[in-house]
Every structure is written in structure tokens, then in C-alpha cells.
């Protein structure tokens, strides 16, 4: 079973918001009812309750287009990571120079430079340049022409464990239902 409410509210309002706490309490009640119903069957059941990851509260949006011209490249991300794709090596070198070491809130990497401790490698979708948040900020790039910028989330998952303020829980109930 998957219960998306806590993750949804955490993104929308932030991990420490009252709305997120309310979602946690609602889920706790739902799980309590589920566990009680299982217990009443008398059948020993192993239950694993897991969370996908922790979440960072975001403080500000960094407009990546204000720091470099992203015309002619493909970008992905409105998160704590921002990816740039292009077949033009000179263009990539120019963008890398625009982002690398320029702002303490983020760092730009080429795929072969990403620190192993981040466990962020080995996938073709990573990008020719990857910009990772070093502070609790949202990295936003190009929006559709004429479109209003989307509502900024207040919480986001992160590749940087130092940004995550809530740890992902893991709980088991083995045969005690």
C-alpha cells in the first residue's frame, strides 16, 4: 500500500508545517485501524512501514536563468538538483563556467566530477551538467514561454543529506499483530 498524503503535504507546505503534521496524524490513525483489523484476524503477519526519504524545508527559489543564458539547451529540474543537456561541448563548457563555484547555495558538476558520497552517478538521465543545491533552495530553470512560474514547493527531497531535517522512518511489526 502507498499513502502519499504526508509526502504531498510536505512538498506543498514544508516538512515542519502544521498541514504536514496533520497529514502525519491522519496517517497514524489510518495505520492504527489497519493494524487493529489485521490483529483481529489472528493470523501472524509481518508488516514493514517505510518512507522513501527525508525532506528539506526550502528557503528560497534560485532562478538559474538569471545566472546564465540557457537558450539552446535542454534543462530538467525545479528541485534541489538541476540538469543541463546539450550535444554542444563548447556551450556546456560556457554554462559550467557560469555556474561552477559562483554561488555558495549550489555547486555545478560534470558527471565524472560528482562526489561518490552523493551516490549520484551511473544513469544516462543525470545530465551533461548537474547543479546540486548545497543550501535549502529550489533550483528552477526555464518555464514554458508565456507560462507563469509554477507554485514553488516548500519542501523537497535532496541528494544532500546535510539539507534533510527529517530522517526517513523504518518500522516493522513482526507477528505481533
Q: How are beta strands 81-85 and 74-76 bridged, if at all? A: antiparallel
Task: Verify that 30 and 77 share a domain, yes or no.
Answer: no
pLDDT in tens, 143-165: 555 556 666 666 766 655 444 44
Q: How far is CA 85 from CA 2, 24, 50, 72, 106, in A?
A: 33, 38, 34, 10, 18
Residues 148, 63, single domain; the answer is: yes
Give domain status of residue 24, yes or no: yes
CATH, residue 145? 3.30.1360.180
Lowest mean pLDDT among 29-43, 91-105, 129-143, 150-164: 150-164
Is the pLDDT assigned to residue 116 strictly greater than 70? yes
Q: Does residue 21 sit in the same domain as residue 96?
A: no
The count of structural domains within the chain is: 2
Average pLDDT value for residue range 120-147: 78
> For residue 38, is it within any domain?
yes
pLDDT > 90 in the chain, percent: 33
Q: What is the mean pLDDT of residues 36-40?
A: 94
Q: What is the mean pLDDT of the chain?
A: 81
* CA-based nearest residue to 55, from 167, 174, 133: 167
- pLDDT for 145 equals 56
pLDDT at 104: 93
Q: How many residues does the chain have?
A: 177
> 75 and 144 in one domain?
yes
For the segment 31-53, the average pLDDT, to the nearest whole number, is 88
| Structural domain range at position 48 | 5-54+167-174
Higher pLDDT, 79 or 146: 79
Contact 73, 124 (CB under 8 A): no
CA dihedral 161, 165, 168, 170 (to 10 degrees): 120
Predicted confidence at residue 177, as pLDDT, reads: 43
Q: Does 159 reside within a domain? A: no
In a domain, 162, yes or no: no
Amino acid at each position: 500500500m502507498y499513502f502519499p498524503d504526508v509526502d504531498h503535504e510536505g512538498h506543498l507546505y514544508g516538512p515542519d508545517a502544521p498541514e504536514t503534521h496533520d497529514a502525519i496524524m491522519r496517517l497514524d490513525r489510518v495505520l492504527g485501524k489497519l493494524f487493529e483489523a489485521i490483529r483481529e484476524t489472528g493470523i501472524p503477519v509481518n508488516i514493514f512501514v517505510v518512507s522513501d526519504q527525508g525532506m528539506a524545508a526550502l528557503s528560497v527559489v534560485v532562478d538559474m536563468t538569471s545566472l546564465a543564458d540557457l537558450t539552446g539547451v535542454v534543462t530538467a529540474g525545479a528541485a534541489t538538483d538541476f540538469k543541463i543537456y546539450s550535444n554542444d561541448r563548447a556551450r556546456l563548457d560556457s554554462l559550467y563556467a557560469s555556474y561552477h563555484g559562483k554561488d555558495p547555495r549550489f555547486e555545478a558538476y560534470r558527471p565524472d566530477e560528482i562526489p561518490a558520497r552523493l551516490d549520484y552517478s551511473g544513469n544516462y538521465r543525470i545530465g551533461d551538467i548537474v547543479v546540486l543545491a548545497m543550501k535549502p533552495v529550489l533550483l528552477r530553470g526555464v518555464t514554458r514561454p508565456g507560462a507563469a512560474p509554477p507554485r514553488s514547493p516548500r519542501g523537497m527531497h535532496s541528494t544532500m543529506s546535510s539539507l534533510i531535517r527529517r530522517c526517513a522512518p523504518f518500522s516493522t511489526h513482526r507477528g505481533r499483530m
